[in-house]
Every structure is written in C-alpha cells, then in structure tokens.
Amino acid sequence: MDDTDAEILRVLREDGRISWSDLGAAVGLSANAAAERVRRLRRAGVITGFVALVDPAAGGRTVEALVGVTLSMATDSDTFAAAAARLEPVSEVLHLTGAPDYQLRVSCRDTAELDMLLRKLRNRLGAADTETTIILRSGPARG
C-alpha cells in the first residue's frame, strides 16, 4: 500500500459507486490505472467487498439499540452468533472479550418488536442475560 492506494480507499469510503474515471481524476490516475489498483486491492484482501448503507428509519425501523448478550453455559457461541445474525432486526453481531459475550446492534419498528427480540434471544437462542441501551443518535457512518 502506498499513498495513492490510501487515497483510493478514502475516496471509495466516501462514494463506493464512483466511476473509474472520477476515481482516477480524484487520485491523479487514469481510469484504467485506478480500476487496476482497486482490483489489486481486492485481490490482496484490503478491500473485502462493497455494501449498501441503509437507513433503518427509512424502512420504518426507528428504534435502534445495542444489546449486550451473556450466553448461558449450555449455549454454543458459534451457533448463537449464526442464529442472531439471521434475525431481521439485527444488523451487527460482535463477539467480545469479557462480559457480555456479544453485542448486537439492532433496529426495531417499535419497543414492542424490541421486547419480542429480547424474549427470542433468551427463550430460543440461549441468552442468559441481556442489557439493552437505546441509541438516541449516532454520527455519520464511516466506510
């Protein structure tokens, strides 16, 4: 990685859909050279993929929260993580050191859906305890 690669990554974090010609112009390269650099960064594993950032509130999910989850002794960690990631309100699953075992970022339509999610985590997925923090606002997303 050199300074040009770092600048390419910065530009892509701001606009992952930028054209090759605009990317090249932003970093002082031709469109083909910029495209080749991005392909090289992908092959090297520096760029692992591209995503669409979605505003949960635009889809009716206006209650965002962080849910700390402590697993029961009988619950397999990997099984829990896979099952939690499949739940519609869950946008991120973080396995942590110390307590709690996991932190989930969730977006729910209302507090009733959040309550149902917490019950599901305990009754079906093996959470021994949960601690929920409602997100009042967050800063701009980083790429």
pLDDT-derived band at 47 (thresholds 50, 70, 90) equals very high
- Give me the pLDDT at residue 142, please: 62
CA-CA distance, 68 to 142, in Å (whole number)? 22
pTM of the model: 0.75
Of residues 140 and 35, which shows the higher confidence score? Answer: 35
Cis, peptide link before residue 56, omega less than 30° from 0:
no
Residues 6+ apart with CB under 8 A from 54: none
CA-CA distance, 143 to 29, in Å (whole number)? 22
Q: Is the pLDDT of residue 141 over 70?
A: no
Mean pLDDT on 55-81: 95
pLDDT-derived band at 54 (thresholds 50, 70, 90) equals confident
